[in-house]
Structure 1
Amino acid sequence: MHKVMLVDLSPHSIANQTHSLDWRRLGYSLGGFAKSLGDAVSLFSRERFSLVVIHIRDAHAEGIRLCEFIRDKCKRMPLMLVGGRMDFHSAREAMHYGVNDYLPAPFTLEEMKDSLRNMREMIGDESDTAAASSRGDILYQAGAGDETGGETAENAADARLRDVHVIDRVKAYVEESLDQAITLKEISTSMHFNCSYLGQKFKYHENMTFNEYLLQQRMEKAKFLLEHTGLRIYEIANKVGYIEIDWFYKKFKSYTGVSANAYRKMHSITA
C-alpha cells in the first residue's frame, strides 16, 4: 500500500472530492494532509511517503515552491499536481521540477482516479520508493541546504530521463499503430496521462507538436514504401493511416513538394 501526502494549497478546497475517493482500492493509504506550504514542508520532513499530490488551483507559485523543495530533498519522489493552469509556461515549470503528472482544472473525479492509477504503475516497487523517501528525509535532517550545483544537475537529469521514457512510449505507440487513426487523446488515455500535459511534455522534448511528429512518421514511411516496394498508392496510404486517398495525396504533396506518383518516378529513375 503506497502512502500518500495530500497538500491542498488552494482556497478552492478539494476535500470533498478526495474524501469520496476509495484510496485503498486505488492502492494507496492517505498518510498525511497539509493546508499550507509551511505545514507541507514540516510534514514531508518528518514522515516517509510514496507519492505527494498537490492541489494548486490559484496557488501555482506556492505549489511550484513546494515541488522545488521536495525535489531538492528527494530527487525520485513521485509528484502529482492537480488543479493548475494549462498553459505552456505552467507546464514547463512543472516539467523543470520533474512533476510526473499534471491534471489541470477543471478535472473530474474519474480523471483524478486515472492519474492516481498511472502514478501507482510509475511508483513500482514500494520498498524502492520508501528507500528514496528515506534518503530524502536523511538529507533534510542532515542540513542538506548546502547541496551543490552538481546535485541540482543530477536531479534535472533524472527528471529528463523519466520524461524521455514517457516520450519513448508515445513514439512506440505511434510506430505500432501507424496504419490506424491515432490521436494524442487515445494515447494519453491508454497511458493514464492528462492529454494537454502529455502534449506539452512531448513538444518540450521533441521541439515539435505531437501532430507534427505523427505527420512526419506517416510521410517518411510512405516515402520508404514508394521507394522500396511495388505497392499501389492507395495501399501505401492505408498502411500509413489514410483511408481517403485524396487526403493522402494532399498531405504527401504538402510534405514533399511533389505528388506521390512523381516521387516514385523520381526515385525509380535514380535507383
Structure 2
Amino acid sequence: MYKVIVADDEPFMLEGWRTMIDWQGCGYELCGTATDGEEALELIGMVNPDLVVTDIQMPVLDGLGLIRTMREELRYDSQIVIVTGYSEFGYAQQAIRYRVNEYVLKPLVPEEIHELLRSMIVPLELQRQETAQLFASEQLEAAQLLDTPAEVNDTIGENDLENMTSHAKQLLTLMEAGDIKGITTAVDQMMQEIQGSLLGLSLTQSMVLYIHGELLRKYRVLGADSMLLQDHTWHQTERWITGELKRLFVRITETFAAATQSDAGTGGLVTEAVQYLKQHYRSKIKLQQLANHIHVNAAYLGQQFKREMGVSFSEYVHRLRIEEARRLLRRTNMKISDIAFELGYHDAEYFTEKFKALTGELPSLYKNNSQG
C-alpha cells in the first residue's frame, strides 16, 4: 500500500476524497486529510506519505506554497497531484519547477481518480526501488541521473525555466495537432540541448512529468487508450537518450492524429446515442451509462453530443420527456403526477418546473387548453 494525504479547504471535497475513492482497491492507504497547507505539512511530517494530493487555493498556506516548502525546504520527494482548474503559462512554470506529477480538475469524478491512481503505481514503485538502491549504494549511473539533487532546484534560472515551459507547451501543441514530423524534430532538438547537462536533464524530467499530467487529462476527453500513459519510458531517463522518449511521443501524436481524422465520423456516434435515448428516455439514464453502452469516454461523448445537437445530453433527455408529456396530456386522462412518474421524474414539482421551462406554461394549463 502507498501512503496518501489529501489537503483541501472545502469540507465537501474532503468528504468526497474519503468516501468516493476506493483507495485500497487502487493500492493506496489514505492516512489523513488537512484543510490548509500548514496543517498538511504537520501531517506530512508524521506520515511521510508516498503521495500528496492538494488543492491550489487554500487559506494560511496555499497548494503551491505547500509544494514549494516540500521540495525546497523539507526536500520531500513524494509524488504530488494538484487539484486545479489552472492551465495557463504561469501555472505550468510552477508545475515544472516543483516537479508536480499529475493534476485533476474539479469536480471529483471517481472513475477518473481511480484511473489516475492506477497510472501512478509505476512511478511510485520506481521511486521506491530508487530509494532502496540509494540506501544500499547500489544504484546505476542512470539512477543517479534520475535523482535530482536538492542543490539543483535552488539554481534553476528563470530563463532555463521559461525555456523548458515553452518546450512543454510546444510539444503538447504538436501532439494535439497530430504533427508527427513536428514532434520528431522538437524532441530531437530538446535532447540535443540537454545532453551533457545535469541541470537540463533534471528540468526536462520535471517538464516531462508536467506533460504526462496534461496528457492524462486530454486522453480522458479523447476517450483514447491511456495505456501509453503507463509506459515506463515516462520515468526512465536513461532510455530517453536512446530515442525511447521520442518513440513514445510519436505514438501519442499518432493517437491524436487518428482521433482528429475520426472526428468526421462522430456523427455516427451521436446518432447512435440519440437512437438509444429515444428508446430509453423514460428510464433513469446517465451520460456514463450511455457512454458505456456505446463504448466511448463519457466526457468525449458529452462534448460531441453538445457540439452536434446544440444542447447538452441532460437537456436533450428533458426535451424528449416533455414532448412525450405533451402527447400524454393531449390524448389521455392520466394525472400529471402519473405522467411525471411514467417519464422518469420521481418529483411532480420538478417535472412541472421543467415542463414550464420548455413550453412556457404549466402542464395543467396545457392539458386544459389542448383538451378543452
Scaled by the length of structure 1, the TM-score of the pair is 0.51
Of the three residues 149, 152, 160, the one matched with 2:154 is 152
2:57·2:63 contact (CA, 8 Å) conserved in 1? no
Rounded to whole Å, the distance in 2 between the matches of 1:92 and 1:114 is 25
In the other structure, the counterpart of 1:91 is: 92
In the other structure, the counterpart of 1:47 is: 47
Rounded to whole Å, the distance in 2 between the matches of 1:102 and 1:148 is 23
2:50·2:124 contact (CA, 8 Å) conserved in 1? yes
Change (3 A) 1:162 1:17: same
CA drift at 1:70: 1.2
For the residue of structure 1 that corresponds to 2:120, the secondary structure is helix
For the residue of structure 2 that corresponds to 1:98, the secondary structure is coil
CA drift at 1:87: 3.0
Change (3 A) 1:156 1:8: farther
1:23·1:29 contact (CA, 8 Å) conserved in 2? yes
Structure 1 residue 185 corresponds to structure 2 residue 222: yes
CA drift at 1:50: 0.9
In the other structure, the counterpart of 2:123 is: 122
In the other structure, the counterpart of 2:182 is: none
Structure 1 residue 16 corresponds to structure 2 residue 16: yes
Rounded to whole Å, the distance in 1 between the matches of 2:105 and 2:200 is 23
Change (3 A) 1:93 1:151: closer
Rounded to whole Å, the distance in 1 between the matches of 2:120 and 2:111 is 14
Rounded to whole Å, the distance in 2 between the matches of 1:183 and 1:5 is 24
2:14·2:33 contact (CA, 8 Å) conserved in 1? no
CA drift at 1:103: 1.1
CA drift at 1:43: 1.6
Change (3 A) 1:82 1:156: farther
Q: Output one character per residue of 1:45-64: Cα deviation in whole Å (capped at 9) or x when no partner.
A: 233211111133577x7100
Residue identity opposite 1:54 in structure 2: T
CA drift at 1:166: 7.8
1:8·1:36 contact (CA, 8 Å) conserved in 2? yes
In the other structure, the counterpart of 2:106 is: 105
Rounded to whole Å, the distance in 2 between the matches of 1:166 and 1:88 is 12
Bigger RCO of structures 1 and 2 (CA < 8 A, at least 6 apart): 1
2:99·2:209 contact (CA, 8 Å) conserved in 1? no
2:53·2:80 contact (CA, 8 Å) conserved in 1? yes
Q: Output one character per residue of 1:188-212: Cα deviation in whole Å (capped at 9) or x when no partner.
A: 833459xxxxxxxxxxxxxxxx99x
Change (3 A) 1:53 1:186: same
Rounded to whole Å, the distance in 2 between the matches of 1:166 and 1:214 is 17
1:9·1:37 contact (CA, 8 Å) conserved in 2? no
Rounded to whole Å, the distance in 2 between the matches of 1:17 and 1:148 is 31
1:80·1:100 contact (CA, 8 Å) conserved in 2? yes
Rounded to whole Å, the distance in 2 between the matches of 1:46 and 1:77 is 14
Higher helix share goes to which structure?
A: 2
In the other structure, the counterpart of 1:29 is: 29
1:123·1:129 contact (CA, 8 Å) conserved in 2? no
Q: Output one character per residue of 1:79-131: Cα deviation in whole Å (capped at 9) or x when no partner.
A: 00113323333233222211000112234121111111122222115744776
In the other structure, the counterpart of 1:161 is: 205
Rounded to whole Å, the distance in 2 between the matches of 1:24 and 1:214 is 34
Change (3 A) 1:188 1:42: farther
Scaled by the length of structure 2, the TM-score of the pair is 0.39
For the residue of structure 2 that corresponds to 1:13, the secondary structure is helix
Number of aligned pairs? 181
Rounded to whole Å, the distance in 2 between the matches of 1:103 and 1:183 is 11
Rounded to whole Å, the distance in 2 between the matches of 1:15 and 1:156 is 41
In the other structure, the counterpart of 2:80 is: 79
For the residue of structure 2 that corresponds to 1:113, the secondary structure is helix
Residue identity opposite 1:81 in structure 2: I
CA RMSD of aligned residues (A): 4.5
CA drift at 1:7: 1.3
Which structure has the larger Rg over C-alpha atoms?
A: 2
Q: Output one character per residue of 1:149-179: Cα deviation in whole Å (capped at 9) or x when no partner.
A: 54524899535325447869x9xxxxxxxxx
CA drift at 1:38: 1.2
For the residue of structure 1 that corresponds to 2:77, the secondary structure is coil
Uncovered stretches (5+) of structure 2, i.e. residues with no partner: 136-148, 157-198, 231-248, 265-372
Rounded to whole Å, the distance in 2 between the matches of 1:58 and 1:81 is 12
CA drift at 1:74: 3.0
Question: Which shifted more, 158-167 or 25-34?
Answer: 158-167
In the other structure, the counterpart of 2:62 is: 62
Percent identity over the alignment is 23
Change (3 A) 1:47 1:186: same
